[in-house]
Amino acid sequence: MKKEVGIISRVLHVSESEWLRNKIAYDIKETLDTLRTQIALEYARGKIKEKELREIFGDEASEVIKFTLKQVKEDLAEAKGIAKKIKAA
């Protein structure tokens, strides 16, 4: 693997340690984003409570998640209504 990292760093014109540091930081960010999404989905499914959501994300972020879920539910209900109208026509 050291050989591959050396090749990548030469091609990108950066030091091996800089490339590795950036790659690790990117992978950690991606993993955290995925986990945040999974946590929000677990809340939407009712598998975690609002208190747990607030502990994980803080008050402001949990409010954003709750608002987003509310909007999605309203939009889904509206789409179902439109589908019924189209089907009836």
Q: Which amino acid is present at 6?
A: G
Q: What is the mean pLDDT of residues 3-11?
A: 89
Query: Is 26:37 a contact under the CB 8 Å cutoff?
Result: no
- Name, in order, each residue with C-beta under 8 angstroms of 50's C-beta and a sequence gap of 6 or more: 43, 62, 66
State yes or no: pLDDT of 67 exceeds 90.
no
pLDDT band at 54 (very low <50, low <70, confident <90, very high): confident
Structure tokens at 30: 């991606």
- 26 versus 61: the higher-pLDDT residue is 26
